[in-house]
């Protein structure tokens, strides 16, 4: 769905179009689940967060101003829902559940062949392991920038922070990931992660 259609979708929902919510869920379910998974690191939790986030969207669509950014508003709801979910869970460290294959099925260029695809999957797993070791805000800034392609302004809006703070969290996440990946025997320069 194009950005124009997504903007129209928000306007339709605000106007009370009952079919617009179903269209919103279809258009955003993969993005919502992906962000929820990256924040919770668990398939079942990501499904719960996704459902709760969509319920919050349905209940609070009236708070979205016509013509405002649906993406940033939706990302913020998912992010806050994931944080609330994590805070309510008892703290027992556990290994992250393996992510569904669909999340890792997009190598940068499928024509690279099986060796490069395997190399990409290996690197992605190592980055995910390293992401699990940094703070929630740093992880969120990295995931929103590199997995969801948000710009710094959108990241700041989503996380409810200033542009300077968004830059700081992103920079710190990259620096910490470099350190973690170096400890795993992988050397990446900042350009690989930016």
Residue 114 structural domain: 104-193
Is 95 within a domain?
no
Contact present, 40 and 65 (Cβ < 8 Å): no
Write the DSSP string, 143-171. HHHHTS---HHHHHHHHT--HHHHHHHHH
pLDDT at 112: 63
Q: Which residues contact 45 (CB under 8 A, 6 or more apart)?
A: 36, 85, 86, 89
pLDDT at 107: 46
pLDDT at 121: 73
pLDDT at 2: 56
The values of phi and psi at residue 133, to 5°, are -100, 0
Is 9 within a domain?
yes
What global pTM score does this model have?
A: 0.64
CATH code, 151 = 1.10.10.10
Claim to verify: residue 71 and residue 128 sit in the same structural domain: no
> Mean pLDDT by 10-residue block, N- to C-terminus, for the chain (194 residues)?
63 81 91 89 90 91 73 88 82 42 45 70 78 86 86 88 92 88 62 48
């Amino acid at each position: 769905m194009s950005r124009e259609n997504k903007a129209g979708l928000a306007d339709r929902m605000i106007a009370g179009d009952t079919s617009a919510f179903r269209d919103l869920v279809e258009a955003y379910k993969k993005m919502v689940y992906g962000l929820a998974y990256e924040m919770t690191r668990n398939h079942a939790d990501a499904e719960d967060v996704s459902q709760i986030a969509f319920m919050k969207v349905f209940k609070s669509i009236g708070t979205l101003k016509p013509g405002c950014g649906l993406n940033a508003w939706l990302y913020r709801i998912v992010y806050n829902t994931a944080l609330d979910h994590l805070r309510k869970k008892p703290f027992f460290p556990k290994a992250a559940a393996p992510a569904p294959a669909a999340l890792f099925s997009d190598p940068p260029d499928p024509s690279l062949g099986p060796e490069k695809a395997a190399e990409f999957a290996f690197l992605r797993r190592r980055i995910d392991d390293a992401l699990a070791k940094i703070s929630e805000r740093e992880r969120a800034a990295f995931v929103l920038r590199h997995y969801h392609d948000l710009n710094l302004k959108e990241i700041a809006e989503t996380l409810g922070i200033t542009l300077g703070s968004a830059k700081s969290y992103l920079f710190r996440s990259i620096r910490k990931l470099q350190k973690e990946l170096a400890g795993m025997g992988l050397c990446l320069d900042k350009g690989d992660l930016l």
